[in-house]
Amino acid sequence: MTNLLVPLSDSHGGNRKNLWKIPFSNVVITRTRNYFLGRKWQAVDIQVASWFIFVHLLALFAPFTFTWEAFWIAFVGYIVTGMLGVTLSYHRLLSHHSLKLPKWLEYIFVYFGVLALQVISFYMQGDPIFWVSIHRYHHKYVDSDNDTHSPINGLWFSYAGWFFDNEYLVEKYQERNNVEDLKNQTFYIFIQKTYMCHLLGCGAVLYAWGGFTYVVWGMGVRIVWIYHLMSLINTIGHIWGKQAWNTGDLSKNNWWLGVLIFGEGWHNNHHAFEYSARHGLEWWQIDFTWYIIRFLEAVGLATNIKVPTEAQKHKKSFDTSYNPYK
């Protein structure tokens, strides 16, 4: 397996002796950033941190407000906003154009993603334009110094630290000129400008429906669960697991992440064939999002579905004896 990480040079202000490897992995941390102390916190960083603290505190009320109705609100919300909203629409549809949906269905699924409430502040938001831009930059600069959330910056930074470091994001991606396809659509501009209204509206609907209990489970528990699962992709998905394909990066396949995050855990598969609507490429690799896409295709709603050809698999294979024509 190729390890693309290299020792720090003098220009980085460090040396080999200061490097350390994340246990049980091939990941060497070559960059570190001050997460909390020793750096200037911008207003946007404080807003994001405040939101994270708020939803986690809200989730702590879960044991005291448990009802089966509230549990199912959280679970169904996790499926709808996490799978249909984030993994299918934000990720496979918008970020990579892996398939096409009718615009009315695209917008419905994308709105589910808005309700996943990925990152909340007045300037750093989980709207489709922001989310897709960050993800496209991640693929363009994967596991390099310009990656948005590579573990070469440290385990915590790739997991959540980058959320609270707007200076880093502005420094790396000030222009955000990689989402012109979304900026040209009125729907996405509207969502971006009114993002906070959808957050407040979600909370208001849940409170009117089931009081504080539904807010705890429908927002607190659901959002915290989705946050941490998606953060695991950025960390574990680039640290521990198997590499089936020669991608030249640190991406790994993890079967249990594949199950928990609707197929997103087959991360090495995804980085090998980022255009593919199918992440679980083998029959035994569970990919719930792919099953939904296949259903949508069967009923005539999903078209232009992209999957890798045997020749494309051969090109990414570690096995030089791989013969797609056998």
Per-residue pLDDT tens for 205-263?
A: 999 999 999 999 999 999 999 999 999 999 999 999 999 999 999 999 999 999 999 99
User: What pLDDT, on a 0 to 100 scale, did the predictor assign at position 319?
Assistant: 78
What is the spatial distance between Cα 226 and Cα 116, in angstroms, rounded to a whole number?
7
Note whether 60 and 238 are within 8 A (CB): no
User: What pLDDT, on a 0 to 100 scale, did the predictor assign at position 11?
Assistant: 37
The token pair at 69 is 């109705």
Per-residue pLDDT tens for 213-225?
A: 999 999 999 999 9
Note whether 218 and 115 are within 8 A (CB): no
First to last CA, the chain: 25
Q: Of how many residues is the chain composed?
A: 326
- 29 φ/ψ angles, rounded to the nearest 5 degrees: -80, 115
User: What pLDDT, on a 0 to 100 scale, did the predictor assign at position 7?
Assistant: 41
Average pLDDT across the chain, whole number: 88
For the chain, give the secondary structure using H, E and C: CCCCCCCCCHHHCCCHHHCEECCCCCCEECCCCCCCCCCCCCHHHHHHHHHHHHHHHHHCCHHHHCCHHHHHHHHHHHHHHHHHHHHHHHHHHHHCCCCECCHHHHHHHHHHHHCCCCCCCCCCCCCHHHHHHHHHHHHHCCCCCCCCCCHHHCHHHHHCHHHHCHHHHHHHHCCCCCCHHHHCCHHHHHHHHCHHHHHHHHHHHHHHHHHHHHHHHHHHHHHHHHHHHHHHHHHHHHCCCECCECCCCCCCECHHHHHHCCCCCEHHHHHHCCCCCCCCCCCCCCCHHHHHHHHHHHCCCCECCCCCCHHHHHHHECCCCCCCCC
Per-residue pLDDT tens for 126-179?
A: 799 989 999 999 999 999 888 888 999 888 889 988 888 887 777 776 667 899
Q: What is the mean pLDDT of residues 68-96?
A: 97
Among 135, 25, 144, 122, CA closest to 89: 135
Position of tokens 């502005």? 170
